[in-house]
Structure 1
Amino acid sequence: MADFSTISTLEGDAQFDIYVARPAGTPKAAIVVIQEVFGVNEGIRRKCDNWASAGYLAVAPDLFWRLQPHVELDPDVPAEMEQALGLFGRFDQQKGIRDIESAIKFARREIDGGKVGLVGYCLGGRLAFMAACRTDGDAFVGYYGVGIDNLLGESHAIGKPVMLHIPTADGFVPAEVQQKMHEGLKDNRHVTLHDYEGLDHGFAAEMGNRRVEDAARLADKRTADFFAANLA
């Protein structure tokens, strides 16, 4: 069962929508799926549905709601890619993290105080890393997160398991940025990094031209095993 629900901001001064996918039985844990710059589109909803099929409560907050509620863009359409990049430039990441905190609290209530993992893609990969530094989630995964090198000064605050998937030919994350990530995180016992040689940004998208099937399956298997180990 899956549909949109409405939750409140941390301050309680506004409400926004969150996609919720529920498993057939009692959830084993919860997973917050953090959107790309394309909104809570069909690809993100499918990822939630897949987690629900695996026995998790899965939720995806509509993080662009302050700019434009229910954005759904297709990265394979150039005009929509440009629109997505424009939204990214206007997006308030600090407020976004607080909305993610609201999603964590909602998910934890729904599973009676159980564990909550977070997984994000692109912008969501960056926000997953920020959440690892700033929220009380239990495990964090970032796929091709952008600008993480600018967040390494916060990494001392990471106290829960983190996994990052890094395609080495990422057009949005140059090699020198990847090197900074490896250097800055190599001594953090909570963080695991996986490189994907020759692959570009978006290789694990659920649908569309960016997806690279074998690599996406490998990364998703690593993520599933990671959550199974850390959300039990």
Structure 2
Amino acid sequence: MPSEMITIKSPDGDFPAYRAAPEGGGPGPALVVIQEIFGINLVMRDICDDLAGQGYVAICPDLFWRLEPGVELTDKTKAEWDKAFDLMSRFDPDTGVKDIAETIAVARRDKQSTGKAGAIGYCLGGLLAYLTACRTDAEACVGYYGVNIPKFLDEAKNISGHLMLHVAGKDQFVDAKAQKAMHDGLDDNPHVTLHDYPEQDHAFARVGGEHFDARAADLANTRTRAFLQTHLG
């Protein structure tokens, strides 16, 4: 898929983003791909490329730019994990959502965009996908194994688009109490759909990751594709 690094201009400064678009220049809905704690790494770029192959304009912004621009880590070494957790501990979700909102605005204006826009995020990005649904006008958002969502459940009433969350039943970072809180706070919301994967751990859809499960990942991704097709076209 045609891909490039672009620059997103915001009131707080400029930051880079990875952009992948459908071949042939045809129009498609836009999706902001929200990073894990590892930055715009190969996993995120591959997700963008895959979405572009499905007909989306996929843009993954560098959300750590205020802390350290250009972070690109893997999940293969302790040193990288330590750095990723340090970045997450210093990251401000509120400014992250502002950067996502700026990226959505750019995505809507993209020369190949239909004007419809959504977001899809993983881990830290799963939380940010939830907050994007609460705080922006994105038509559709998807979060995979989002962390710390219960802290923000009071914002769910603000969701005007559609939200799908994939919940790992044995998530080492989201315990059973937090999962119950998510269901209690969201199950009755007509804008929200939760899917549980009872036997899966965090990052079960991260290709090449320690907890990757091909069957569960395929099920979640199939649900995501149908959801996005329904709400973004």
- The count of corresponding residues between Structure 1 and Structure 2 is 230
Counterpart check, 1:175 vs 2:150: no
**Residue of structure 1 in register with 2:51 after alignment:** 51
2:185 and 2:211 mapped to 1: Cα distance?
A: 28
**Residue of structure 2 in register with 1:69 after alignment:** 69
- State the SS of the aligned residue for 2:201: coil
Deviation at 1:79, TM superposition (A): 1.6
**Residue of structure 2 in register with 1:5 after alignment:** 6
2:222 and 2:27 mapped to 1: Cα distance?
A: 19
Deviation at 1:76, TM superposition (A): 2.5
**Residue of structure 2 in register with 1:16 after alignment:** 15
1:112 and 1:193 mapped to 2: Cα distance?
A: 28
**Residue of structure 1 in register with 2:229 after alignment:** 228
CA contact (8 A) 2:28 2:113 kept: no
CA contact (8 A) 1:49 1:58 kept: yes
Deviation at 1:113, TM superposition (A): 5.6
Q: Which runs of 5+ in 1 are unaligned?
A: none
Deviation at 1:206, TM superposition (A): 3.0
CA contact (8 A) 1:46 1:206 kept: no
- Aligned identity (percent) is 48
Deviation at 1:14, TM superposition (A): 1.4
Deviation at 1:69, TM superposition (A): 0.9
Deviation at 1:112, TM superposition (A): 5.3
CA contact (8 A) 2:30 2:114 kept: no
| Deviation digits for residues 163-197 of structure 1 (CA, Å, limit 9, x no counterpart) | 00001000000000000000111110110000001
**Residue of structure 2 in register with 1:27 after alignment:** 27
1:206 and 1:108 mapped to 2: Cα distance?
A: 29
Structure 1-normalised TM-score? 0.96
Higher mean displacement: 200-209 or 50-59: 200-209
CA contact (8 A) 1:47 1:206 kept: no
- 1:71-86 equivalent positions in 2, closer than 5 A: 71-86=71-86
Counterpart check, 1:129 vs 2:146: no
> Which residue identity is paired with 1:187?
D
Deviation at 1:135, TM superposition (A): 0.6
CA contact (8 A) 1:44 1:206 kept: no
Higher mean displacement: 68-77 or 135-144: 68-77
Structure 1 runs of 4+ with >2 Å offset? 206-210
**Residue of structure 2 in register with 1:185 after alignment:** 186
Coordinate RMSD, CA, aligned: 1.1
Structure 2-normalised TM-score? 0.96
1:128 and 1:29 mapped to 2: Cα distance?
A: 17
- 1:92-103 equivalent positions in 2, closer than 5 A: 92-103=92-103
Counterpart check, 1:105 vs 2:105: yes
CA contact (8 A) 1:116 1:137 kept: yes
